[in-house]
Structure 1
Amino acid sequence: MEQHSFGTYMRHLREEQGMSINQLAASADISNSQISRIENGLRGVPKPVTIRKISDALGIPYAELMQRAGYLEDGAEAYMNEKGAVPDWANSRDKRDFKKMLEEDGELMFDGIPLNQEDKKRIKDVLTGLFWEAKQMNKHKPRRRPDPAE
Structure 2
Amino acid sequence: MKQEFGDYMKQLRETKGLTINQLAAAAGISGSQISRIENGLRGVPKPTTLRKIAEATGVPYEELMDQAGYLQEQALPSEEVVPEWATSKDKRDFRKMLEDDGELMFDGIPLDKDDKQRIKDVLTGLFWEAKQMNKRNKSNNT
Question: Quick check: TM above 0.5?
Answer: yes
Contact 2:13 2:57 (C-alpha < 8 Å) held by counterparts: yes
- Matched to 2:27, the amino acid is A
Distance in 2, matches of 1:58 and 1:45, equals 17
Q: Kindly indicate whether residue 84 of structure 2 is the aligned counterpart of residue 91 of structure 1.
A: yes
- Unaligned 5+ segments in structure 2 are 105-110, 119-142
Distance in 2, matches of 1:52 and 1:8, equals 18
CA RMSD of aligned residues (A): 3.6
Q: How far off is 1:99 after superposition?
A: 6.4
- Matched to 2:52, the amino acid is K
Contact 1:8 1:40 (C-alpha < 8 Å) held by counterparts: yes
Contact 1:55 1:61 (C-alpha < 8 Å) held by counterparts: yes
Deviations 1:91-135 (A, max 9, x none): 22x24434658xxxxxxxxxxxxxxxxxxxxxxxxx73x51255x
Q: How far off is 1:86 after superposition?
A: 2.4
Greater RCO (CA < 8 Å, at least 6 residues apart):
1
Contact 1:48 1:132 (C-alpha < 8 Å) held by counterparts: yes
Distance in 2, matches of 1:31 and 1:87, equals 39
Distance in 2, matches of 1:89 and 1:71, equals 19
Q: Structure 1: which 4+ aligned runs deviate by more than 6 Å?
A: 136-139
- Matched to 1:140, the amino acid is K
How high is the TM-score relative to the length of structure 2?
Answer: 0.61
Distance in 1, matches of 2:72 and 2:112, equals 9
- Unaligned 5+ segments in structure 1 are 102-126, 145-150
Aligned length: 109
Contact 2:23 2:57 (C-alpha < 8 Å) held by counterparts: yes
> Does the C-alpha gap of structure 1 residues 55 and 88 become closer, same or farther in structure 2, counting only changes over 3 Å?
closer
**Greater share of helix residues, 1 or 2?**
2
SS in 2 for 1:72: helix
Q: How far off is 1:73 after superposition?
A: 1.7
Identity among equivalent positions (%) equals 48
How high is the TM-score relative to the length of structure 1?
Answer: 0.58
